Structure 1
Amino acid sequence: MKRIRVIDLNKNFRKYCHSVKRAGYWLPFSLLLFFTSFVVQTTNAQLRAAVVKVDITPSDPQYLLGYQERKSTGVLDKIYHRIVAIDDGTTQFFIISSDICLYSPSEYDKVAARLQKQYGINPLNVWWSVTHTHSAPEVGVTGLYGIYMGERMKHEIDAAYTSMVEQKLVDGILEARKKLEPVRLGVGWGFSQANINRRALDVNGKASLGMNPDGPVDRRIGLLRFDKADGSPLVLIANYAMHGTVMSGANLDISGDAPGVVSEYVEQKIGAPVMYINGAAGNLAPIYSTYPNWRAGHLTQFKVLLGDKILEANKRIKTGIDELKMVTGSLTVETPRKPGMDWSADLAKYSTTKAGVNMVKLPVRFLKINQDIAIWSAPIELFCEVSNEVRDRSPFSHTFYFGYTNGWFGYMPTAAEWPHGGYEVETVSPFTDAAAKDLTEAVVGYLQGNMKTKTPAVTPKRKK
């Protein structure tokens, strides 16, 4: 194992001072400081990681987000925060996946600011994603969802439940910091046909929510696995693009939907937590979608359709990486806002005006792991064509997109989909047809430039 070597020059420095004094010279104070604080980082530190799984199932009925206004009457399966902490010896990075539908970016800002103020955690190093199940409670202010779907948000958001979700997230991160242990990392790909393009086209070329077997799709499963020192798995991260909509608005039971069921199934098989990270699922549905209950929607079949495919791919992963360096990055993509669209007050910092045109300021995050893994994320429901193109043009052999991360602005369809109209284009997008290209070129440029050449920076000592 390679370690950080600190060169203690005190002994030699004392000898030098003694000889200088005998010679009758004086030593500048700046040189004194140089000698007494000189540290050389010669090699990387041992990779460490931890995982925490926290139950966020409510104990009372809650309004569910994702369809019409409706309140839960029971619990089909529990929902969780799954939190992974990664430490490369210089940087601690946290990935959270929560079994909820979506939340406003201002909710992320609120929690990230608390983590930074109280615990010294850099917001760039905290990614909070959601599985996008449509059978989970609302969290935080309504944000743009309240602009798009005001008729669904006429009730009060449960502040107590939101507070509980926030507190358990913070507590889980702090627990993960304490549980860090030496691990090895492996990376790989899988394949599953559990999803399908949901932009059904009629004879007039107009789109509606349905199934389009000829439409664009992304069926790759991106996998990251951390193994303990004894070779047993610590946690498996599975990145797959698919809406959490097996069950429709007729379902009133709280559930993680297909992402939650698959996670629990694979956990039981491998004996370790599984973190499901959704991808560019804006135009991708599960192949069984919007059924009135779990039986009609063949919910358990996703254990085979996706769960077994994750298990097959997991067997091929070799976890040989025990030293790594992480590099984080960010950029803001400014793209025109849809004309005439209102904006949510809690998101004022994400809007600007240039030459009389209202612009959306879309935050994008990046994580580089060594020289061959790149992950990027954005707070949107992205159409899969964009993440597919970014992956194809990326200089990194493993490029993953984490969707629904650090909030939600709505859908970002590609320019080719705008003439077809439909729900994603007309109802729940703040963007214009220029947005997908703006994002694609900005992300590819960043990956090919900044992230390819950027090296780890020296960071201040972390707070305990």
Structure 2
Amino acid sequence: MNKRAEQSGGYAAIPGSAGVERETARFAYDAETGSSLRIGWAEADITPSEPVLLAGQFHARLSEGVADPLQATAWAIDSGADHAVFVACDTISVSAELRDAVRDRLRGQAAGLDPLRVILHATHSHTAPEIRPNSSQAAHASGGASGVGLDAMPVAAYVEFAAERIAKAVAKAWTDRAEGAFAYGAGQAVVGRNRRWVNDRGQSIMYGLQPGVADTFRQIEGYEDHSVNVLSTYNTEGELSGIVVNVACPAQVGEQGYAISADFWHETRQELRRRLGERLFVLPQCSAAGDQSPRSLYGKEAELRMRELHGRTERMEIARRIANAVEETVSVIGAAAHTRAVLRHRAAFEELPANLLDESARLEATNESARWRTEFDAELDKLEQRPELRESPGWYRAATNAYGRMSWHRDVLSRWERQREGASGEKAELHVVRLGDLVFATNPYELYIDFGSQIKVRSPAVQTFLVQLAGAGTYVPSPRSVLGGGYGAVPASNPVGPEGGQKLADATVSIIRSLWEEQEG
């Protein structure tokens, strides 16, 4: 047993898959306090029963039915000395309103549970309801500020609906926690691909690598992370109870769709349960992946051809790749499940510097917001003069696209005003949870992978599970992305820029290291 394994403690012989002889597991306990380690799982269906506005595009998308259910999966882990609850949500992000509504409901509901140790994080599905009540999308529901008037469930109402169900799942996971053990390991699967490319003028572009511009292509902008970090939990009978699956890719295969869906995590859950047990809990985590996508920029025709030959959809192919990596990993790590491990949870509110705007950014935002305002007014006039247009499919798309882009640039002007008034940045809620030799580290952003890989390289943990979008933050780009520009790395996209990203990475590494230094001390 190596030094790091000795620090975590002993192992229980627990199989990871069928065909391996099962031995009854000893329950896990905290290596410092001697308290038993208790684990709980629960899930909730957060699929709305009426049409909603879907998040993730400038134009509004009124949902047109349900392709597959949305889930929130809660995993509670408690050593008596410390605890944490991770909640994976099939949403685009976790707004402050949703997070606070869940935590408020938990106060007094679950004895011994600190609501501030409940960590909500999103899979970044672009076919899930809008959960930001103050977003430009929210303005389009009936009676909304835009005047478009779509017959959709108000965003605030969906937040209340989802919060109620998520809070019940968290309370159940906490109440149902029982002695058990865990194991962890790492696999590989090609899921996330860098979605930004650089042309012959040094400009970076998100998507859009079409035949007409192929001769200007010079390189893919950045790195890709194909690691699949896995944590598996077991009850005292040695049975696999749950899986944490961490990949560096947002769930947005169907980012232009109109049907409510959990995207590729739906097929992935189905495939994992088919292979490892129908009652298995699956908790997805999106690692740092602000510049990643589940689709390659090139070679699309070859990939499509192979999927057709195999008879798989794109989402089915991703599910197969993830399930292969998880199954292979679980088959070996279960035989070395941890029964003794330190559990420590640290939460911090880090002040990150604002991405400062200059006069050119203010001028561009002023001009662009005015231009899109003119277009929006023209679209509203057209709808007023020709009400029959509202009977056409997608009649609201042009108007809401103009409104979304106008609002995007107005947000820049609002940031400019706050900057003039002395606002220096924003507070980011960070969580770091050490469990034996592994660590979970969260952030509220779509964090570019350069910062994510930096944290992993500097972390003393055997495995570092990064969890992005544990909040509502937008893109935090790398310095090289800002140099190239393009969507995702321009002022309108980045309230927090590379300087803030570096401070976030440094703060995260500092907290991680402090948890190792405490035990060594």
- Range into which the TM-score falls when normalised by the shorter chain: 0.7 to 0.9
Matched, 1:176 2:173: yes
1:203 equivalent among 196, 200, 205: 200
Q: Is the 8 A contact 1:336 1:357 kept in 2?
A: no
1:138 aligns with 2:154: no
**Aligned-pair CA distance for 1:182:** 1.8
Instruction: Give structure 1 regions of 4+ aligned residues with deviation exceeding 6 angstroms.
Output: 144-147, 150-156, 294-297, 341-344, 352-355
Contact 1:197 1:213 in 2 (8 A): yes
- Summarize the Cα distance change of 1:309–1:118 in structure 2 as closer, same or farther, 3 Å threshold: closer
Q: Is the 8 A contact 2:105 2:164 kept in 1?
A: no
1:416 is matched by which residue type in structure 2? Answer: R
Q: Once the 2 structures are TM-superposed, how far is the Cα of residue 124 of structure 1 from its aligned partner? A: 3.8
2:340 corresponds to which residue?
323
| Seq. identity, % | 22
> Is the 8 Å Cα contact of residues 133 and 245 (structure 1) preserved in structure 2?
yes
Q: Quick check: 206-215 or 124-133, which moved more? A: 206-215
Could you say if the C-alpha distance between residues 80 and 441 of structure 1 is closer, same or farther in structure 2, counting changes exceeding 3 Å? same
Q: CA deviation at 1:438?
A: 1.5
- Counterpart of 1:221, as a letter, is V
> 1:65-464 maps to which residues of 2 (within 5 A)?
65-67=55-57, 68-116=59-107, 118-119=109-110, 121-142=113-134, 157-210=154-207, 215-249=222-256, 251-271=257-277, 272-287=280-295, 298-318=314-334, 319-340=336-357, 356=422, 358-370=424-436, 372-405=437-470, 407-426=471-490, 427-448=492-513, 450-454=514-518
- Distance in 2 separating the partners of 1:95 and 1:382: 19
Alpha carbons 2:271, 2:319 under 8 Å: kept: yes
Partner residue in 1 for 2:397: none
Equivalent residues, number: 405
The separation in 2 between residues aligned to 1:453 and 1:106, in whole angstroms, is 36
Instruction: Please state whether the residue corresponding to 1:332 is helix, strand or coil.
Output: strand
**2 CA distance for matches of 1:152 and 1:132?**
28
- 1:396-430 CA deviation, whole Å, 9 max, x = no partner? 1121111111x112111111211111111123220
CA distance 1:387–1:151, change in 2 (3 Å): farther
Local SS of the residue matching 1:238: strand
Say which is worse superposed, 42-51 or 168-177, in terms of deviation.
42-51
| d(CA) in 1 for partners of 2:137, 2:507 | 26
Question: CA 1:334/1:287 → structure 2, altered by over 3 Å: closer, same or farther?
Answer: same
Maintained 8 Å contact 2:101/2:160: no
Q: 2:42 maps to which residue?
A: 52
User: How many angstroms apart in 2 are the aligned matches of 1:286 and 1:268?
Assistant: 23
Give 1 or 2: higher strand fraction.
1
- TM-score, with normalisation over the residues of structure 2? 0.70
Bigger RCO (CA 8 Å, 6+ sep):
2
Alignment CA distance shift 1:215-1:433 (3 Å): closer
Measure, in 2, the Cα distance between the counterparts of 1:441 and 1:153.
Answer: 45
Alpha-carbon separation, structure 1, partners of 2:36 and 2:81: 10
- Distance of 2:197 and 2:129 partners within structure 1: 29
Q: Structure 1, residues 136-168: CA drift from partner, whole Å, max 9, x if none? A: 112242369989xx9899867333322121011
- How many Å apart are 1:76 and its aligned residue? 1.3
* Structure 1 pair 361–244 and aligned structure 2 pair: CA distance change class (3 A): same
Change in CA separation of 1:380 and 1:401 when aligned onto 2, cut-off 3 Å: same
Alpha-carbon RMSD across the aligned residues, in angstroms, is 3.4
Aligned with 2:52 (options 62, 82, 85): 62
CA distance in 1, matches of 2:340, 2:147: 49
Conserved? CA contact 1:105–1:409, under 8 Å: no
The whole-number CA distance in structure 1 between the counterparts of 2:420 and 2:109 is 36
Residues 237-266 of structure 1: CA distance to partner in whole angstroms, max 9, x if unpaired? Answer: 0010112111132x2111111123212221
The one-letter code sitting in structure 1 at the alignment partner of 2:128 is: A
Structure 1 contact 262–306 (Cα < 8 Å) conserved: yes
Q: CA deviation at 1:233?
A: 0.7
In the TM superposition, residue 114 of structure 1 has moved relative to its aligned partner by: 3.6
Q: TM-score, normalised by structure 1?
A: 0.78
Between Structure 1 and Structure 2, the one with more helix by share is 2
What amino acid is aligned across from residue 155 of structure 2 in structure 1?
D
- Which residues in structure 2 correspond to 1:34-49 (within 5 Å)? 43-49=33-39
Query: How many angstroms apart in 1 are the aligned matches of 2:146 and 2:329?
Result: 43
Distance 1:330 1:181, change over 3 A: closer
Distance 1:279-1:429 versus aligned 2 partners, 3 A rule? same
Report how far residue 354 of structure 1 moved. 11
Query: How far apart are residue 435 of structure 1 and its match?
Result: 1.7
Change (3 A) 1:106 1:60: closer
Unaligned runs of 5+ residues in structure 1 are 3-40, 457-464
Deviation of the 1:339 alpha carbon? 3.1
